[in-house]
Chain A
């Protein structure tokens, strides 16, 4: 039977999981994992990876892979031959396959082991300082670096696309080859009218040389009023001109509708206790990526322990999936639904990039919120509203594919000479700017500036500004870039 395009893949996945759980393969895998605990090559210190290795070398992982593939093959492809490009919401078959590939790996990682009581107690004590105590990570590798993800996006094709339908796209010389609709400058100017030159902006019009009476004082006053009235819509409008640092934390919470009620704190505590009781293989990836990313970062190293806490909890949070199913028009298709418990798969959200992007989207928030449960909720909300779109493949205007296309189109349209030049020297601009956008510029901008950028993401409820900023950076550096002769030099 043909699948309903709007729920195609998630339904597929859910069904596969359901079927596998009821299969003998599942109980065999579980038995194998537990039996392997007695083997001499399985050491306690390196338990998770030893079991993983064992499952691989004994061929069980392959059996699982095959099972997944065969399940997938049983469902017909949900492609609509007659669908015009602008109605394409469904990821293409190629996209789905790409997602499934990384998805299997995470399924394996979701094997859930209950921690022994002594380890639980120890982890509880160490909850606040996991940065100084992590397992051996050397054998874990990130699944996708941004450039791998970019390769996937570059290879997206809509099999239904006919060149004639969008003549302008035929001349598109960038890396993205799917003809999604993106805005042009006049449309952007209209949408982002508050960013016009005649409107005051924090970060520019409050600098030391400008008398505060000119803009800053009044803007701060308005911000305080907005907070006093707890008006979420007004807050969203207000932050388009930037948030005063002292008001930002509250304004963002207002816009995201986070109030940190007792039940929210309780929910967080439950997640935390779940982390302590149940160990997931994926935790090791989190440790490794936090160590690689945040621990080496000049701004974020201080918050290392908070990052562990947030991410470990996040990887067990079922409410995130519920949110997608309920509220999103194009839910990301690559998530497993599962129940938390000893015997079952824990929920996991495999991003199409490695955890670095997650980490870098939590880290700046640590400058605003020092209470873990509030930090967690803000991050979760930012993720389900915005950041997930950077990690999954969709046709949404704020999705990463559209952002890439918007960036390339802006550049090719308004700086064609620069675009051609860079292309000629093997430095397609998107290769440089992709990692900025996929991380919402976190790690590439000083935190105070990054927060000003994210003010606008919240204010306009859109990630398009990332593409515009990326293009603006190229425009700003156009003169220098025209003289470079290699990708490395351009970087």
Chain B
């Protein structure tokens, strides 16, 4: 029995209209952080404070926040890779068929992150790998930054001399997270459309990690570079060729404010089905769903599954010219800035559907609820993986894979079962 039926009181430290309009349209009441609030859409800095040992405080049952306390296990580039590597090793140890490797020692089903090393810690390991293929290109990314900041490409060891020095100097070298980088093998054969490189931005909502329950937003989009792609070494430092971040591309000469260089995932699907065929397209999308679920499973054991929390991640995926998807990174705070009119509509609906799932009926939440929303409120989300349902060996699901643009994820079937039903995919 509710003691107080009232309007949800909300706070945010992210001043974005797509958020605020959604709160207001529900008739929720804005309050300040130090007042009694029910719903707080926080920046990642704030979540750190809320759950920090020194400054943190306990949340009450009627309070919900939009981040998990240690989301960085998934959303920091180095920790994501670390967790996935750990997860793979564990599966290997327990003899799981998921961890099967091919004759070259590569994981068949779990090779979805490019070879990555932490710098400066793994510098020597990196050098060893680099020397195996000295003509390769690598991409350097600062661990704690976003929006493409500080990213650069290298193809010579000399270009990262600094990290060599750091690794060789005394072990007291401060490795503040600001200085830490990851270096990954650059995917220099991205799938090109119209000659341009693009990546995929997909939104994934996680309401609980244990049991894992996650939803995929059907309306993702592709972000195109404004400049034709070339792997030529003379253009390695042209970020307009290589980095798809809107924050970067919007400064290019050819950036267009009407479409913002964005394509819907349905366009992508239409294009791929028309030019490559249905089977390979379905396989691609199945694999994309697969790698998202695997990444979540990888971090699930180490996540603080605080019941006050949900999170909407921005997944960045790149497809190579063999139609293999690669997980590039996961964003805890996907941009809510709208670069175009369509963008605004999409993000508005995204938040709307997210709130409908996270805050049932728009009423004052009770964090003890079972986090199982009815199908009708999903909006543009669809269930990506539901561990509980999977384990209860659900009834016959629709196993058919369909063409059509209205949902991009019709190949959703086998994922709903918790067992690796790999034989249907691979």
Q: Chain A 275-306, CB within 8 Å of chain B: the 1/0 string?
A: 00000000000000000000111110111111
Q: Is the CB of A132 within 8 A of B228?
A: yes
Q: Give the residues in chain A near B402, CB-CB below 8 Å.
A: 206, 208, 212, 216
Q: Give the residues in chain B near A245, CB-CB below 8 Å.
A: 270, 273-274, 278, 403
Given A305-B194, A305-B195, list of 13 further CB < 8 A pairs? A208-B402, A208-B407, A216-B402, A244-B403, A245-B403, A246-B281, A246-B403, A297-B259, A299-B267, A367-B274, A367-B275, A369-B275, A446-B405
State the B residues within 8 Å of A (CB): 193-196, 224, 226-228, 253-254, 256, 258-259, 261-264, 266-267, 270-271, 273-275, 277-278, 281, 342, 400, 402-407, 410
Whether A370 sits at the interface, judged by CB under 8 Å, is yes
Q: Complex: how many Å from CA A474 to CA B270?
A: 28
Q: Is the CB of A132 within 8 A of B253?
A: yes
**Among all A-B residue pairs, the 5 with the closest Cβ atoms:** A302-B194, A246-B278, A245-B273, A129-B228, A246-B277
Q: Is the CB of A248 within 8 A of B274?
A: yes
A287 CB → nearest B CB, Å: 13
The one of A295, A302, A448 in contact with B224, judged by C-beta atoms closer than 8 angstroms, is: A302
Whether A447 sits at the interface, judged by CB under 8 Å, is yes
Q: Complex: how many Å from CA A306 to CA B407?
A: 28
Q: Chain A 415-452, CB within 8 Å of chain B: the 1/0 string?
A: 00000000000000000000000000000001110010
Q: Complex: how many Å from CA A244 to CA B278?
A: 9
Known: A244-B403, A306-B194. A131 touches B254 (CB 8 A): yes
A206 CB → nearest B CB, Å: 7
Q: Give the residues in chain B near A301, CB-CB below 8 Å.
A: 224, 256, 259, 261
Q: Give the residues in chain A near B266, CB-CB below 8 Å.
A: 448
Q: Is the CB of B271 within 8 A of A208?
A: no
Q: Is the CB of B404 within 8 A of A302?
A: no
Q: Is the CB of A448 within 8 A of B196?
A: no
Q: Give the residues in chain B near A303, CB-CB below 8 Å.
A: 194
Q: Is the CB of B270 within 8 A of A128?
A: no
Residue of A at shortest CB range from B198?
A302
Whether A33 sits at the interface, judged by CB under 8 Å, is no
Q: Give the residues in chain B near A298, CB-CB below 8 Å.
A: 258-259, 262-264, 342
Q: Complex: how many Å from CA A290 to CA B402?
A: 34
Known: A206-B402, A212-B400. A368 touches B228 (CB 8 A): no
Q: Is the interface of B mostly helix, strand, loop or mixed?
A: loop
A376 CB → nearest B CB, Å: 15
Q: Give the residues in chain A near B193, CB-CB below 8 Å.
A: 302, 370
Residue of B at shortest CB range from A243?
B274
Q: Give the residues in chain B near A206, CB-CB below 8 Å.
A: 402-404
Known: A208-B402, A244-B403. A249 touches B195 (CB 8 A): no
Q: Complex: how many Å from CA A262 to CA B403?
A: 33
Q: Give the residues in chain A near B267, CB-CB below 8 Å.
A: 299, 367, 447
Q: Is the interface of A mostly helix, strand, loop or mixed?
A: helix
Residue of B at shortest CB range from A210?
B402
Q: Give the residues in chain A near B274, CB-CB below 8 Å.
A: 245-246, 248-249, 367-368, 451
Q: Complex: how many Å from CA A83 to CA B343?
A: 58
The one of A304, A306, A447 in contact with B270, judged by C-beta atoms closer than 8 angstroms, is: A447
Known: A244-B278, A302-B224. A132 touches B254 (CB 8 A): yes
Q: Give the residues in chain A near B261, CB-CB below 8 Å.
A: 301
Q: Complex: how many Å from CA A244 to CA B256?
A: 33
Whether A261 sits at the interface, judged by CB under 8 Å, is no
Known: A244-B278, A368-B274. A129 touches B195 (CB 8 A): yes
Among B226, B263, B273, B405, chain A packs the most CB atoms within 10 A around the CB of B273
Known: A128-B228, A206-B404, A208-B406. A296 touches B270 (CB 8 A): no
Q: Complex: how many Å from CA A203 to CA B278?
A: 16
Among B226, B254, B275, B400, chain A packs the most CB atoms within 10 A around the CB of B275
Mind listing 5 A-B residue pairs with CB under 8 Å?
A: A132-B227, A132-B254, A246-B277, A301-B256, A448-B404
Residue of B at shortest CB range from A207?
B404
Among A207, A297, A298, A303, chain B packs the most CB atoms within 10 A around the CB of A298
B256 CB → nearest A CB, Å: 6
Residue of B at shortest CB range from A245?
B273
Q: Is the CB of A448 within 8 A of B270?
A: yes
Q: Complex: how many Å from CA A248 to CA B274?
A: 7
A301 CB → nearest B CB, Å: 5
- Which residues of A (235-273) have their CB < 8 Å from a CB of B? 244-246, 248-249
Known: A208-B402, A366-B194, A447-B270. A249 touches B275 (CB 8 A): yes
Q: Chain A 117-161, CB within 8 Å of chain B: the 1/0 string?
A: 000000000001101100000000000000000000000000000
Residue of B at shortest CB range from A306?
B194
Residue of B at shortest CB range from A213?
B400
Q: Complex: how many Å from CA A383 to CA B389?
A: 54
Q: Give the residues in chain A near B262, CB-CB below 8 Å.
A: 298
A233 CB → nearest B CB, Å: 23
B54 CB → nearest A CB, Å: 49
Q: Chain A 300-319, CB within 8 Å of chain B: the 1/0 string?
A: 01111110000000000000
B350 CB → nearest A CB, Å: 18
Q: Is the CB of A296 within 8 A of B273?
A: no
Q: Is the CB of A305 within 8 A of B228?
A: yes
A253 CB → nearest B CB, Å: 12
Q: Is the CB of B227 within 8 A of A370?
A: no
Q: Give the residues in chain A near B258, CB-CB below 8 Å.
A: 296, 298
Q: Complex: how many Å from CA A296 to CA B340?
A: 12
Q: Give the residues in chain A near B256, CB-CB below 8 Å.
A: 295-296, 301
Q: Complex: how many Å from CA A302 to CA B226?
A: 9
Q: Give the residues in chain A near B228, CB-CB below 8 Å.
A: 128-129, 132, 305
Q: Complex: how many Å from CA A244 to CA B279?
A: 12
The one of B263, B278, B405 in contact with A448, judged by C-beta atoms closer than 8 angstroms, is: B405
A476 CB → nearest B CB, Å: 19
- Which residues of A (295-352) have their CB < 8 Å from a CB of B? 295-299, 301-306
A56 CB → nearest B CB, Å: 32
